[in-house]
Amino acid sequence: MTQSFTLAQLAETLGLDYQGDGDLCLEGVSTLEKAGPHALTFLANPSYKKFLASTKAGAVILSPGHAQTYPHAALISDNPYATWAKALTLMHPLAHPAPGVAATACIDPSAEIHPTAAISDHCVVGANCKIGARVILGPHSIVEANAEIAADSRLVARVFVGHDCQLGQRTIVHPGVVIGADGFGVALDNGHWQKVPQLGRVVFGDDCEIGANTTIDRGALGDTILGNDVRIDNQVQIAHNVCIGDHTAIAGCVGIAGSTTIGSYCMIAGASGIGGHLTITDQVIITAMSTVVSSINSPGTYGSGIPAQPHQRWKRVLARLAKLDDWIGRLKKIEKGSSD
């Protein structure tokens, strides 16, 4: 669904200045390259600046600097990408399902479902759950006993929320996510593993978003905690008693082991692994496929990923690595010789 706006309406709604014809009707969105005369587009990444001169877009979201030299209609923003995100949200509003509970949903009579919430087909909601105002539980979602989903949140489809867990307001959870499964707790007892019951919860702040098939385990004794505005991509694994600070973003396939605390405004790139019982301070960036095995106390960028290279060259590096000891021994011998 697309909602049309005139350029002037959009500027007013977003609290921005514009240049060009305010009555221009923007009926859709596109890229600089492909936009037609009634499409809105944007320029944020400098590598796309080359397309600005020739774009046929109805209007472009531009920084003040770019707008100055652009002779056509523009929406002027200090942060074009964020403005783009907001304009898309206005022009492509989410189709909100009608409130109510689908006939095929199984709702425990003790659950409190807000009358404005929409519970889709085949959902299961357990005893004493609280489902807030305007919440959407997409098809096949399971919310176990005593869990709470705060106002304006959306479980897109097939999400599992374990008993007693709490999701904040305006949370988005994508299909296949498992929140509040048991953490991996076992104790070796005479050669057999004894399961350690996992008694904690998962507790979210507001405005979090969780990507498809991500798993977030409940705490062992205390809780696993996500702060406000935590953004997590697909297939991320968050173990029991992890604590993630406000505004931290975690890319796909990252794994975080138990009881680790991550600060706010951190950015963890894809497929990195973070060990257990660590503390990562605020504003730490971890590069892709890195292995974090000790705490990080200073903001900054850290990593240990190795760029792929032609196989024969990499095999040679590995062979050299394996013999590093030899070479260093030979170097020491020379040093000893030259000092003789």
Q: Does 201 participate in binding a second copy (rule CB under 8 A)? A: no
Q: Is the Cβ of residue 21 or residue 163 nearer to a second copy in the bound state?
A: 163
Q: Is the Cβ of residue 53 or residue 88 nearer to a second copy in the bound state?
A: 88
DSSP secondary structure letters along 56-73: --SEEEE-HHHHHH--S-
Q: Which residues pair with 57 in a beta bridge?
A: none
With CB under 8 A as the contact rule, the residue among 13, 31, 68, 295 that binds a second copy is 31
| Residue in the structure block whose two tokens are 């002037």 | 8
- Main-chain phi, psi angles of 311, to 5 degrees: -55, -45
Rounded Cα gap, residues 315 and 323, in angstroms: 13
Tell me whether residue 140 is one of the annotated catalytic residues. Answer: no
Find the catalytic residue in 66, 174, 240, 247. Answer: 240
Residues 177, 139: contact at Cβ < 8 Å? Answer: no
Q: Does 46 participate in binding a second copy (rule CB under 8 A)? A: no
Among residue numbers 157 through 186, which ones bind a second copy (CB under 8 A)?
157-158, 160, 162, 172, 174-176, 178, 181-182, 184-186
Q: How many CA atoms lie within 13 A of 216 on its CB side?
A: 34
Q: Is the Cβ of residue 166 or residue 241 nearer to a second copy in the bound state?
A: 241
With CB under 8 A as the contact rule, the residue among 6, 9, 63, 234 that binds a second copy is 234
With CB under 8 A as the contact rule, the residue among 84, 113, 168, 226 that binds a second copy is 84
Q: Does 273 participate in binding a second copy (rule CB under 8 A)? A: yes
Q: Does 211 participate in binding a second copy (rule CB under 8 A)? A: yes
CB of 123 to a second copy, least distance (A): 9
Rounded Cα gap, residues 159 and 214, in angstroms: 10
CB of 160 to a second copy, least distance (A): 4
Pairing outcome for strands 136-137 and 118-119: parallel
Question: Which segments of 42-164 does DSSP mark as H helices, in order?
Answer: 64-69, 80-91
Among residue numbers 104 through 123, which ones bind a second copy (CB under 8 A)?
104, 106, 120-122
Residues belonging to the chain: 340
Token duo for residue 179: 């929140």
Angstrom distances, CA of residue 94 to CA of 97, 122, 156, 169, 181: 9, 21, 11, 16, 29
Q: Does 97 participate in binding a second copy (rule CB under 8 A)? A: no
End-to-end alpha-carbon separation of the chain, Å?
A: 83
Residues 243, 225: contact at Cβ < 8 Å? Answer: yes
Among residue numbers 275 through 334, which ones bind a second copy (CB under 8 A)?
275, 285-294, 300-311, 314, 316-318, 320-322, 324-325, 327-328, 330-331, 334
Q: Is the Cβ of residue 115 or residue 308 nearer to a second copy in the bound state?
A: 308
Q: Is the Cβ of residue 117 or residue 239 nearer to a second copy in the bound state?
A: 239
Q: Is the Cβ of residue 60 or residue 69 nearer to a second copy in the bound state?
A: 60
Among residue numbers 49 through 78, which ones bind a second copy (CB under 8 A)?
none
- By annotation, the residues acting in catalysis are 240
